[in-house]
Structure 1
Amino acid sequence: MTELNEENFFLRRVAEVLMAHDGSKLHRFCIIVPSRQAGDWFLRHLRKLARRPGLTPLVITLPELFEDMSGLCRADSLESLFLLYEEYRKLTAAVEPFDRFRFWGEMILNDFDEIDRFNVDSRDLFTNVKRLREIATDYLTDGQRKAISFYWPSAARDLQPVSDRMWLHLYPDGDSSFKRLWEILSPLYAGFQKRLRNLGAATYGMFLRDALRRVTAEGESCLKFDRYVFIGFDMLATNEVAFMSILQNLGRADFYWKVNSPVFRNPDSHAAHYVRHFVDIFPSRYELVEDEITTFPEIEIVGCASRDAQARMAAQCLAKWNVDSDDGCDTALVLTDTAMLSPVVDSVGSAYPMSINVGVSLRDTPIANLMRCITRLHTHSRLNAEGIPAFFREDIRLLAAGSLLQAVEPEGCRKLLAFVANSRSFALASSEINEAVPELSKLFVHLKDNDFDAIFKYLEELVAFLTERCVHIDGAFRDRLYLESLDRSLKRLKSSLSRYNIDVRETTALYMLERLTLRETVSLRGKRLEGVQILGIGDTRALDFNNVAILTMNEKVFPRRGSRKSFIPDVIRKSFGLPPSRTDENRAAYLFYSLIARARRVSIYYDTRKGRSGGDASRYILQLLYLANPDKLRFVRGSFKPESFSTDLISVSKKSPEIIDALNSYRMLEPNDPQARFLSASALNTYIGCQLKFYLENICGLYQEEFRENYVDAGMYGSIVHRAFELLYNEARGNRKSVTVDSALIDRWLDPSMRKIDKALEDALRELYYNSDDVSKKVQRGETMMLMTVMRKILKNVLIAERASAPFEFICAEKLVKHRWTLNDDISVNIKMFIDRIDRRNGHLVFVDYKTGDESLSFDSVGELFDNSGKKRPKGIMQLLLYSSVYSQFRPSECDNGIEPQLYRLRSFSRPALEPITYNGSPLTDTRPLLEEFNAEMSKVIEELFDLDVPFRQSETDKECKFCSFKQLCNRNPRQY
């Protein structure tokens, strides 16, 4: 094990001086430290300095000291909130529901605790608050109010800001029996404290007042120790200072302050403003022997593009620092945001032992997301027409995609996501869900609003189900702790709601439990002083490390911005000696500079993304630019891009055996061979546009997974219209080889009373969108009803346009052709195509292709179809000419009278007119004269495809990249698209 260089650590120096002067008496001392971590480190130093085993002093935190002197127990935060609400209900007839009162109640509890900690006379304070609020909310005369009410009756109630209306507790009926909230703060404070004391409980502020009263009244007789040594504190409340002053006057106190830093030496620095003041009034009994720190350590500042990147870079930093893989406790990973815990632990993995000493808020864990999804699922649920509970598809999808549920029941989540994707209903019945995914049936039950027991039974069974599954999952230790905390919160909530007789509806209980998960904190305590120390920034007071990595050093994260929620305005807070409502940034500065002062190496990570907690580096990073020696300061851009990144075009050689075999399967094997591959019009269009994309899709078999939207997107829209046409024409043809489509047949289709078009559209929707063959399933509702109107108009306009060219013969739809296509004596390839529709008009074939996009209908040369340098290559025309070339070989006798290509741009049928394809400005009614030139151009493409000396190259232009699934794999920057 590496011997730590601890000689300059602050706690080591304090331990040395106490051992030197009072070593034999230390067991009669009480050592008060800012945190348990500081206490563990102090005892470690004492044991190392002790020459022989002996008794050690009591090492505790400040709250533990005052709790012991008070004789009361710490009040549970949830219990306190319910007690406050009960007292509130006694004092006013304007009783808010508990779920609305909760926010204000937590604010009041914080104010009450501050009043006790800062020794404020509550009656005087609330009297001033009352007077100030009366001035702020009652500035209009009676005459002015009457005039406003006369001319603008609806505005009379809105004269005050929303926050003032909450203060006023005014209701439209103006009942004078409703008390204003700020009028009852003083009796509410007194009643709340009385109730707590009757239960033998107290808040921290109450502990402090009791301890101060006791030591003032009893003097030394109430003190259990010869000396109380306060080590490493920074900001102190008024009553804490008063308590220390009494002990100092009794000669029973000693103080040691951590102020050795190049920043703290500057008298104008706000970082140690409060601490310098305490150094003056509470001097140390013994002088610490240490050199003055005048320079900063080596500091590396790393900007990363994500939280995960920060965690990975910090893990790599441990290896760079040569951290001891057997111990490593001289190294700290400090979290300014506890949401970073999971990424950090996962990144460090098993490479180093870790001691996790972080209080993690459940809002930063997967539990909180799960509870949000559960709450959303049930608050949005409704009974369907059959009286069966139904849940919204998006709520189900979010629940199944959550990381915790995915971890405990991956197969069930996969099946549930597939079930949601295959269903086009906006609300899914619980019976259908549970039949498809029985593994998750516990989630999808109906909860009645007033069935208190059923609601909590559901939640308890859910937690038990998740906990039981976590037991069998490796690495789910943290999740089990989080679930145990959730289970405790649930039991406390249920017990308190019953005991205080508070009405609960389904939404209230679920929302309250969700809020509980956001406010609960889980203390993760590993084997202290063993392994890399993972700490919250607030737990680093009085501690030092050789190596320090600080994560998420961004503005709004550290220091945190925003006002402390309080009922007491700043002007009154200042007058009564309370801290300002805005978060005090001096403390954050002290924590930061105190932590890095004695370190050897420091790495600071911040998120470079723009957003709520990213983009702007913390002010302390900017301050280091001016304070630190430039030779010891280094900026790094954290990145995981390939080092060989370049703007050169990517190319892939065709000479690997796998690629050669894949290419040969397109031409060497017969179409009926199961190993044969087939080129298609789409694949050849892809090759002409970007050979690299062709390689990824057709050689490697990579395709972006299709994501089915919850609405009818452009692709689905075109498929439904296309399928509706197919159903109409196939029904008319029946089992015959073809059918004559005349004006009379089209008129029958257009007749609203016969509902032919509506039935075809409904069947197409049912089949393609809802994935159902149940003809009783209703499809005309909501969004689909509006789309039916649009699609119905398109079908009508196309049919009216086709009636003008009737009669014609409909032969088939969705014609599948697999053929060995011969372009010349040297080139033959397997080709597969689906022709949307084949008609015969005036003796010649017509190939109809339906398009939803804005396809070009004109071209001036065959070469234009193969030229990708232009603005927009006519891909649809190229496809139809390919169909013509292949079909003329596949069924030559059917093509003797010509092949006419026809593109139906469905979105252009706002009026009933067919637009022909034009070649050199004239309608193209027969493709045969162009096929020789087309085949020659296509031969060049096919020859290049099979030329092993020509690699698959990336497109020279970026116009193909906008909607490409592979743009993130290329050197093209996807953000510009």
Structure 2
Amino acid sequence: MTPFLLETAQKILAKHPRLEEVTLVFPNRRAILFFRKHIGTLLHKPAFAPTMLTIEEYIKSFSTLQVPDKLELVHRLYKAYTETVNSNESFDRFYYWGEMLLRDFEEIDKYLVNAEMLFRDLSHQKELDASFDYLTDEQKKFLLDFWGNFDEHQTENRRKFLDVWNHLFDVYTNFRSQLVKESLAYEGMVHREVAEKILGGNTIRKGNEVFIGFNALTKAEEVILSHAVEGDAAVYWDVDEYYLNSAAQEAGDFFREYQEHKILGKTFDSQVPANFRNKKNIKLYGAAQPVGQAKLMGQELKENIGVGALPEETLIVLPDEKLLLPTLHSVSDSVEKLNVTMGFSLSATPIFNFVELLIELQISGKEGYFHYRPVVSLLNHPYCVLADSSAAQSKQKEMLKHNWVSVPKNFLATETELHRIIFVPADVTNITRYLKACLSVLGAMSNLYAFDKEYIFQMLKCLNRMEEVLGDQYSDLRSFLRFFRQYVRTVRLPFSGEPLQGLQVMGMLETRNLDFKNVYILSLNEGSLPSGGSKGSYIPYNIRRAYGLPTLQHQDAMYAYLFYRIIQRAENVFLFYNTETDILGQGEMSRYLQQIMFESGKRFDHYALHNAIGVNEIKPIVIQKDKVVLAALAKLNEQNKHRKFNGLSPSALNTYIECRLRFYFRHVAKIREADEIEEDMDARVLGNFVHNVMEAFYKKVVEQKGSTVIEAKDLEKREKLIQTLLDQEVIKTYNLDPNEPVVYEGQLILVSEVVKRFIGKILDHDKKHAPFTLEGVEQNMEYLYTINESVGNVLLGGKIDRVDRKGSLLRIVDYKTGRDKLEFDSITSLYTRDGKRNKAAFQTLMYAWLYTKTKNTTDLSVIPGLLNGKNLFDEDMEFGLKMGKQVLNDVHTVLPEFEANLKELLEELFNPEMVFDQTQEVKNCEYCPYKRICYR
């Protein structure tokens, strides 16, 4: 296999022995590097090198205009745009559209399009006047089809399009004139300037020029190249007769066009190379998912290198850049040296996420506090963990303990310098300085990896460039973050390596002019090769076709050429595609791959690797009560020496009745849900506020009057006290500064109003029931219940919200902020596992049973009942539980049956022969935290 560049070097050396007199022009710099290597192998004595330029360098050499980077160009375009259309749009919102508009202007100039004619509003023009005579009939048809359809279907979006469209020529003109004033330009401007000089009759040549390996020329490049050829410049086309001589092959579209060109046509050799017809070893691999391709490619590469394939003669082509890291992982064991020509997005590195979190942290800052989400994300970030893992963990534990939604800024500072500086407040005026200070401290850490330091260096360059170009033009931190994300996602990290040594990894565009003996091409699927879409444009498709601007067909033809070109001289070709398509059908085998399989006549060894797909039977989970489980159960009966209740509560028994397995996970295995800061005011938070404020309220009333007898007058005009108690509860819950007034905002406003209204209704009910004696609030009950000889004693207990007495009537009061029902069918129904049982009634009845077991209630009528969100707001409010339709005016009548069922339940629970299994009522699983374990 003789590479195209080596072949070309031989021809040039034969024609131009004095190389220093020759100017060689290439599509890109990589082609220059490889050409230099080849020419070096042909020279047997020292010689001066020829002048070697990329096409961009060649064209720019004929202009005095300088091309700044894209950020500066888009910013200057923004100024021209806002000035022309009198817009007050912010730069961060303009940037995306500005990039697209700049791309359009680039193409307009590179293809020498008359911008004024292109941007004319033809929506009401039924025929084209003489000024459009330079268009072909086909081009005129495209133009009239677009504007005719546009006129027939006027919509608001189309009107908006017209409004923008009618300003674009003015923006284009203003932008260009402002750049020229400062001797600046975008690339397309330079190309147009040089091409128009030539078209104007100027001679622009360097002499002894040779153009090597070009394809898909722009109109400006075509003019420049033709002009050079008229001055006896040579052109070497990297082409093959397989696709050149067949009109059905889109890979040859551009070359067939140049063959017909009156000037460029004569540069084609009469004898076109036929390298594609040479014998090739082609293997085709189908693998599931992109990563599967990378792994399979790595295995094949390792095997081939093991039998003599040289890394220097091997190329891996990645049409999809997302496969770069999986590819590098897959080949790392096979080669010592490799070179990557593809850039890696800075936004895919940990430093991008770190800086993004720093900005989000500052956005969340408010009056001495940061929102917990960016704080937690930063403390868990690898860089903060690397700086001080123990501090990161301890801070999070404290935040969880206090359920801090807003975290005090002074709490977050630690002795570690990185932790200290990242939690310093910053605003839009000093955000860049703050970020650079954080990155400087991070970069100075001794335990940081070398590549992380490179990421930091590149990020600092981005921030410096943003500062240089934009200064402090951001309206707020959100606009800064929005622009930061857009800009950094366009920044590529260059990989360092030996460009001419070892294995080569490239994107499709980088392969131009290069040839390798062994070629591996991945991602040969629609959507990857060719790419699934364009980069976006203000210029609609039909108008593009009419004016000869690039379209998707142009892009497809270019990539078809690149595909066939990299294969045409190779000897061993390994092609990989993804066997799994997405839901939209994208990901089918690439059309280029199908073409070469069915049209080339080549023999393919086709291997398809499929993952075996089967449906695994979901087996029921059953926990036997072995010694370990029984020992854990026994601990539920221990009376804790610290007086912390460790037994079975009504809530725990409710869980057991609903699902034995859930009871096991929670109360025996002690598998807890992950602790999280509760940001939303859910029913639990609302319930806690009601219970705690009611407890504090009645304790305060009893303390103030020195008696437990509550009269109606004690409950009047208590709004101020309730507000004070609620403030204290909010301060305690969210660990706020007790010396500062509580600020109610967002959901907290709504919750506070609900809590005050709910408590107000409870007190209205209590006033009607007064006078009564308060026997206890939030009263803890414990009872050691004897089951039988084998089980022994079982510790039962719970906390009763309130017990009050009026004469011989004793009420067990349970506050429920939900809409729990008072009614239940029977005592037996409370123990059934059919999903229809009344959990609240079971809980309240068990409180009543516990109270009668621990207190003397012989002469009292004990009434269990609920004060809940459903009945409190009814005018004819009911309190007591109902069995069937009968109110339980004295619980003593049903407690024997309740106890018998309870005893039977506890015997089952502690029976070694009974297992912990899953409920058959799948509805019970809907909100279960363990449902993922059960696959429910």
Short-chain TM bin: 0.7 to 0.9
Give the corresponding residue for 2:769.
805
Contact 1:901 1:927 in 2 (8 A): yes
Residue 727 of structure 1 and its aligned partner are, at CA, apart by 1.1
Are 1:718 and 2:682 counterparts? no
Unmatched 5+ residue regions in structure 2?
A: 127-155, 599-603
Alpha-carbon spacing, 1:332–1:956, altered in 2? closer, same or farther (3 Å): farther
Measure the CA separation in 1 of the matches of 2:211 and 2:157: 56
The amino acid across from 2:618 in the alignment is T
The amino acid across from 2:455 in the alignment is Y
Are 1:253 and 2:235 counterparts? yes
Give the corresponding residue for 2:816.
851
Are 1:524 and 2:524 counterparts? no
Contact 1:808 1:839 in 2 (8 A): no
Deviations 1:557-586 (A, max 9, x none): 9724356334x5656544543224999444
SS in 1 for 2:190: helix
Deviations 1:341-360 (A, max 9, x none): 56776798889877544323
Measure the CA separation in 2 of the matches of 1:316 and 1:917: 68
Deviations 1:399-439 (A, max 9, x none): 66767666666666656766776778987775566589985
Contact 2:804 2:811 in 1 (8 A): yes
Are 1:464 and 2:440 counterparts? yes
Measure the CA separation in 2 of the matches of 1:704 and 1:487: 41
Alpha-carbon spacing, 1:895–1:775, altered in 2? closer, same or farther (3 Å): farther
Are 1:206 and 2:190 counterparts? yes
Deviations 1:851-899 (A, max 9, x none): 334434333333322322x24332223333444455555x254577465
- Describe how 1:81-480 pairs up with structure 2 within 5 A: 81=74, 106-120=99-113, 124-126=114-116, 129=119, 161-166=159-164, 182-183=169-170, 185-186=172-173, 188-193=175-180, 195-196=182-183, 203=187, 206=190, 210=194, 222-223=206-207, 227-230=210-213, 234-245=215-226, 250=232, 252-257=234-239, 267-268=247-248, 270=250, 273-274=253-254, 277=257, 281=265, 283=268, 287-291=273-277, 297-303=283-289, 311=291, 314-315=294-295, 318-319=298-299, 330=314, 332=316, 334=318, 336-338=320-322, 355-375=339-359, 378=362, 440-443=419-422, 454-469=430-445, 472-474=447-449, 477=451, 479-480=452-453
Measure the CA separation in 1 of the matches of 2:330 and 2:772: 68
Alpha-carbon spacing, 1:547–1:849, altered in 2? closer, same or farther (3 Å): farther
Residue 720 of structure 1 and its aligned partner are, at CA, apart by 0.7
Deviations 1:799-856 (A, max 9, x none): 2223333333322233334554322332235535332324143446543333334434
Measure the CA separation in 1 of the matches of 2:420 and 2:553: 47
Alpha-carbon spacing, 1:776–1:64, altered in 2? closer, same or farther (3 Å): closer
Deviations 1:658-715 (A, max 9, x none): 4344234335x55549999633333333233233333333333222224334332221
SS in 1 for 2:922: coil
Measure the CA separation in 1 of the matches of 2:873 and 2:526: 54
Contact 2:301 2:331 in 1 (8 A): no
The amino acid across from 1:466 in the alignment is L
The amino acid across from 1:229 in the alignment is I
Give the corresponding residue for 2:709.
740
Residue 904 of structure 1 and its aligned partner are, at CA, apart by 3.1
Residue 464 of structure 1 and its aligned partner are, at CA, apart by 1.7
Residue 361 of structure 1 and its aligned partner are, at CA, apart by 3.5
SS in 2 for 1:236: coil
Alpha-carbon spacing, 1:550–1:853, altered in 2? closer, same or farther (3 Å): farther
Residue of structure 2 aligned with 1:903, choices 866, 888, 896: 866
- Describe how 1:563-642 pairs up with structure 2 within 5 A: 564-566=536-538, 573-580=544-551, 584-587=555-558, 601-605=574-578, 616-618=585-587, 620=589, 632=606, 634=608, 636=610
Moved more, 435-444 or 805-814: 435-444
Alpha-carbon spacing, 1:805–1:295, altered in 2? closer, same or farther (3 Å): farther
The amino acid across from 1:956 in the alignment is Q
Contact 1:740 1:810 in 2 (8 A): yes
Contact 1:818 1:832 in 2 (8 A): yes
Measure the CA separation in 1 of the matches of 2:676 and 2:524: 33
Give the corresponding residue for 1:872.
836
Give the corresponding residue for 1:659.
629
Residue 101 of structure 1 and its aligned partner are, at CA, apart by 6.3
Measure the CA separation in 2 of the matches of 1:297 and 1:582: 28
The amino acid across from 1:362 in the alignment is L
Contact 2:288 2:578 in 1 (8 A): yes
SS in 1 for 2:536: coil
Give the corresponding residue for 1:790.
754
Alpha-carbon spacing, 1:820–1:111, altered in 2? closer, same or farther (3 Å): same
SS in 1 for 2:762: helix
Give the corresponding residue for 2:463.
490
Alpha-carbon spacing, 1:248–1:686, altered in 2? closer, same or farther (3 Å): farther
Measure the CA separation in 2 of the matches of 1:658 and 1:548: 57
Are 1:481 and 2:454 counterparts? yes
SS in 2 for 1:901: strand
Measure the CA separation in 1 of the matches of 2:226 and 2:377: 56
Alpha-carbon spacing, 1:672–1:53, altered in 2? closer, same or farther (3 Å): farther
Measure the CA separation in 2 of the matches of 1:525 and 1:485: 14
The amino acid across from 2:923 in the alignment is K
Measure the CA separation in 2 of the matches of 1:130 and 1:968: 61
SS in 2 for 1:960: helix
Unmatched 5+ residue regions in structure 1?
A: 1-6, 137-157, 169-179, 304-309, 383-387, 973-977
SS in 2 for 1:959: helix
Are 1:755 and 2:731 counterparts? no
Residue 461 of structure 1 and its aligned partner are, at CA, apart by 1.5
The amino acid across from 1:257 in the alignment is V
Give the corresponding residue for 2:654.
685
Contact 2:286 2:293 in 1 (8 A): no
Alpha-carbon spacing, 1:205–1:876, altered in 2? closer, same or farther (3 Å): same
Contact 1:421 1:708 in 2 (8 A): yes
RMSD in angstroms over aligned alpha carbons?
A: 5.3
Measure the CA separation in 2 of the matches of 1:532 and 1:811: 84
Measure the CA separation in 1 of the matches of 2:441 and 2:180: 40
- Describe how 1:550-569 pairs up with structure 2 within 5 A: 550=522, 559-561=531-533, 564-566=536-538
The amino acid across from 2:460 in the alignment is D
Deviations 1:439-480 (A, max 9, x none): 54534556576x5xx4543343233233334x5234x71x43
Alpha-carbon spacing, 1:325–1:720, altered in 2? closer, same or farther (3 Å): farther
TM-score (norm 2): 0.77
Are 1:778 and 2:742 counterparts? yes
- Describe how 1:701-716 pairs up with structure 2 within 5 A: 701-716=670-685
Contact 1:235 1:587 in 2 (8 A): yes
Contact 1:212 1:243 in 2 (8 A): no
Alpha-carbon spacing, 1:930–1:16, altered in 2? closer, same or farther (3 Å): farther
Residue of structure 2 aligned with 1:729, choices 688, 695, 698: 698
Residue 716 of structure 1 and its aligned partner are, at CA, apart by 0.6
TM-score (norm 1): 0.74
SS in 2 for 1:804: helix
Deviations 1:521-541 (A, max 9, x none): 322344557787655454455
Give the corresponding residue for 1:766.
731
Alpha-carbon spacing, 1:390–1:70, altered in 2? closer, same or farther (3 Å): same
Measure the CA separation in 1 of the matches of 2:905 and 2:771: 40
